[in-house]
Amino acid sequence: MTESEVKTLMAAFGTAFRTGDADAVAACLADDFTWHLPTGTGDPRGQVLQGREATRHYLRERFAVQGKGGGVRFSDSCMEVSGDMVILRYRVRGTGEDGQAVDALGLDVFRVADGRLVSKDAYWKQVAWPVQNA
């Protein structure tokens, strides 16, 4: 893919993600897409989603929570394209899956092939959050 084609794919993915459209996100993914989320329990890779349909299912649930005011929001993004690899830096704020406040810098590493995203490996800075007194 040309850099222009990769940027067009990433723009479609980003728009779909920001608007909470799981089907449009899935349209950007290869059938065997793999997503290593930045969070999870018991596995140093984080939670791993395997396949377009597993990702679509996860995002439908996640976007439903975000629609009710939960979840996280992304801003301040900066993208670099190098061949079949895309590096996306951003800021993430909101409420994590554990209910704690989140404000961190993140980085995603994407791989693309044949007009689709084949993988996404997501990282967030791990910082100590202030303890909230009830």
User: So what's the pLDDT on residue 126?
Assistant: 76
Tell me which H or E stretch contains 19: helix 3-19
Write down the domain spans for the chain. Answer: 3-124
User: What amino acid occupies position 47?
Assistant: Q
What angle (nearest 5°) sits at the alpha carbon of residue 112, between those of residues 120 and 94?
Answer: 30
pLDDT tens digits for range 72-84: 788 899 999 999 9
Regarding predicted confidence, which is higher, 130 or 12?
A: 12
Selected from 3.40.30.10, 2.60.300.12, 3.30.465.10, 3.10.450.50, the CATH number assigned to the domain covering 3-124 reads: 3.10.450.50
Interval 9-56: pLDDT, tens: 999 999 999 889 999 999 999 999 999 998 888 888 888 999 999 999
